[in-house]
Amino acid sequence: MGPWSCEQAPQGRTRNTGTAVNAPSLEVAIHPIRHQTASTFLFSRFGASWRMCVIEHPRHGGYLAPGGHVRELQGEAPQEAAIREALEETGYLPRLLPPPPPVGYPHPAVPGPWWTVDIPAGPDGRTDARHLHRDHIFVGVVPLPYEPQGTPELPARWVDRDYLEVLDTPTDTKVLGAHLFDVIGAATRPSPAPTPDKKLTTELVRRMRLDQEARLLPAASRTPQLIERWQQIDRDNRIWLEQLLASRGWPGISEVGQQAAAAAWMIAQHSDSAPRFQLKCRDLLAEAVLADDADPQHSALLQDRVRVAQGQPQIFGTQLHADGTGELTSAPIWDAEQVARRRLEVGLEPLEDYLRACRQTAAG
């Protein structure tokens, strides 16, 4: 699968094009000037598939991982520089991952550089001499790849593993990128794995059934009393889920199973009266998808729900409203020409099939 682009006008940046040096060498003796830099290999899930974010270099051409100089005179740490550079260059605020410890290691890992290498660099805006970049290489994830937090300074794109192989990018980026595609899934899964909770599973399924009993009644049967009861069920479910999330986090598939995980999503989906809580659920559910512990379709539905409530165009075309003739149709869709591809990524049926089924349900 090819790249997804978010093209913007480029700004200046120095590119590291040399070969990494992992130990003291002749390069250090010849080039005693050393600048601290930080790079971040960014990954996100597009449905079941991982992609990596690369930026187009403004002067030399080609693509590489986002990164740049550490602002040492301002007291900036490499980890802070990695996050700042990723946000500035790609528009994404990453969550940095800790380097994975050996299996069975008893202590929790914390985010830090996965590698630190010396990279030969030519003259740039900071020095007229050849020098070294001591690059601190981080790995980060983006839960919502269609929801950038800022405007990128550089053209950025998400590429899959196959596209990385043919992309115009330095060898070091290809080598590390290929390795990270192999390990990123395991690096995002919680450790230790959650213990299945039968009691929580039963309660989630019970609450989902209450939710559906009210909603699946024919429209003619929806009396004012029933609607009030419906709203009360939504309030009770929301308050209960808020307390659950505060005490133990999002209930994933590994903990409660497919059906109960769907119930948690459904409660969040129907929490329209509490938009900030619904936004929180969107973010937690997206993180669960990164860990392969939630259904990407549920995340897509909740992302669209939140965006429509905020007055923004939806991404996947899942939210409908009645048009001027009373027929159900999609609320406005961002980049509608690509919506079929985005729906396919997360496993949603074609939009026309979805519309047809929803219209039949509404009519019947």
Judged against a pLDDT cut of 80, whether residue 293 lies above it is answered with yes
For residue 239, what are the CA distances in angstroms to 242, 253, 266? 5, 21, 14
Q: If you search the block for the tokens 């989630």, which residue do you land on?
A: 204
Contact between 112 and 98 (Cβ < 8 Å): yes
Average pLDDT over residues 77-92: 98
Please give the pLDDT value at position 117: 96
**pLDDT tens sequence across 17-65:** 444 444 444 444 555 788 999 999 999 999 999 999 999 987 777 999 9
Q: Which residue has the tokens 């991952």?
A: 97
Amino acid at 115: W
pLDDT value of position 364: 66
User: How far, in Å, CA of 84 to CA of 92, rounded?
Assistant: 9
pLDDT for 48 equals 92
Cα gap 114→81, rounded to integer Å: 15
The number of angstroms, rounded, from the C-alpha of 228 to the middle of its chain's C-alpha atoms is: 37
Query: Does pTM top 0.85 for this prediction?
Result: yes
Distances (CA, A) of 302 to 28, 275, 315: 52, 11, 10
CA pair distance 268, 245, nearest whole angstrom: 11
Q: What is the pLDDT of residue 39?
A: 98
**Least confidently predicted of 88-92, 253-257, 288-292, 324-328:** 324-328
Determine how many CB atoms are found less than 10 A away from the CB of residue 123.
11
Between 130 and 17, the more confident residue is 130
How would residue 2 be classed by pLDDT, with cut points 50, 70 and 90?
very low
Beta bridge partners of 96: 140
- Average of per-residue pLDDT across 342-362: 94
What is the Cα–Cα distance from 315 to 343, expressed in whole angstroms?
9
Q: Token digits for 284?
A: 């937690």
Whether cis (ω within 30° of 0) applies to the bond prior to 192 is: yes
Q: Mean of the pLDDT values across residues 171-196?
A: 93
Q: At 267, which helix (H) or strand (E)?
A: helix 253-269
